[in-house]
Amino acid sequence: MFTITFANPKGGSGKTTSAMLLAEQIRAAGATVAILDCDPNQNIVQWGAQRAEKGKAVPFNIRPAPNEATFLDTVDAIRGTADYLIIDLEGTANQLVTYAISQSDLVLIPFEPTPMEARQAARAVQLVRNAGRMMSRSVAHALMFVKVNAAIQTNDEKDVRKETEANDIPVLRSAIVRRAAYTRIFRDGFLLGELLEQARDEVKGSTASAQERVLKPLDAAMQNARDYTQEVVNLLSQEKAAA
C-alpha cells in the first residue's frame, strides 16, 4: 500500500481538494483507495455522507480523523485493504502530523505560490525532514502549487519557483489550477467525472459553441487532475525503485 499525506500547517491551503482529485483519478485507473480525513472540518467525511444520503456510491473507504492514540492502529487496520491510503491532515503541526509523516511514502505540501504562503510551506518541508531524521530515513516530499491562474504565470509564482529551486526543494511540475469545478465537488457531493458526464448530457443538442463554452472548462479541469495524478504516481514509482 502506498501512503500519501497532504500536509501544511496553514489551513485553507488546498490539501483537501488536492487529496480528493488524486483519490478520484487513482480510483478511476482501477486501484482501491482509502482516505483518512484528519481535518477538523471533516469535508471529505461530509462529502461521503452527502453522497450516501443521495443514494450515490462512495468510491473510497473514508474514515474520520482518529486521535493521536489510535492513529497508528487505524492505519494498520487499513493496510492490506487498499492499494493507496491518502491522509488529509489538519492545518497545524502536532503529534498526529508526525505520526502521519512516519507512515508516508510521499508527503505533498500544497500551497498558493505567494511569498507568505511559501513561508508556511517551508515550515512543512522542515517538519517532514525533521521527522525523517528522527526515523533515520528520508521521507519523500514535494511542494505543489495550487489555485494558480490558468492563463498566466504570476510574478509571485515565478519568484517562488526560483526560490524553491535555489533551496533544492522538490516541486511538482503540475499545478492545481483554480477551477470552479473543484469547488462544486464538495458543494454538490460529486466526483469530477460525474460533473463532466452531467454537463455532456445537459448540452446535447446545443450548438457547438454552446457545448464548448460549457464543456471546455470541465475538460480542462479533468486533464489538470489527470496530469497531476500521473506525476504523483510516477514519483511514487521512482521512489519505490530507488529504495
**CATH class of the domain at 2-242:** alpha beta
Mean pLDDT of the chain: 88
119: pLDDT strictly greater than 70:
yes
pLDDT tens digit string along 53-87?
999 999 999 998 778 888 889 999 999 899 999 99
- What is the structure's pLDDT at 92? 64
Per cent of the chain over pLDDT 70 is 97
Helix axes 15-28, 192-202, angle to 10 degrees: 70
- What is the structure's pLDDT at 40? 84
In this structure, of 14-18, 187-191, 237-241, the range with the lowest mean pLDDT score is 237-241
Any alpha helices (H) in the chain, and if so which ranges?
A: 15-28, 43-53, 71-78, 95-102, 115-135, 155-166, 180-188, 192-202, 208-242
pLDDT tens digit string along 205-224?
888 888 888 899 999 999 99
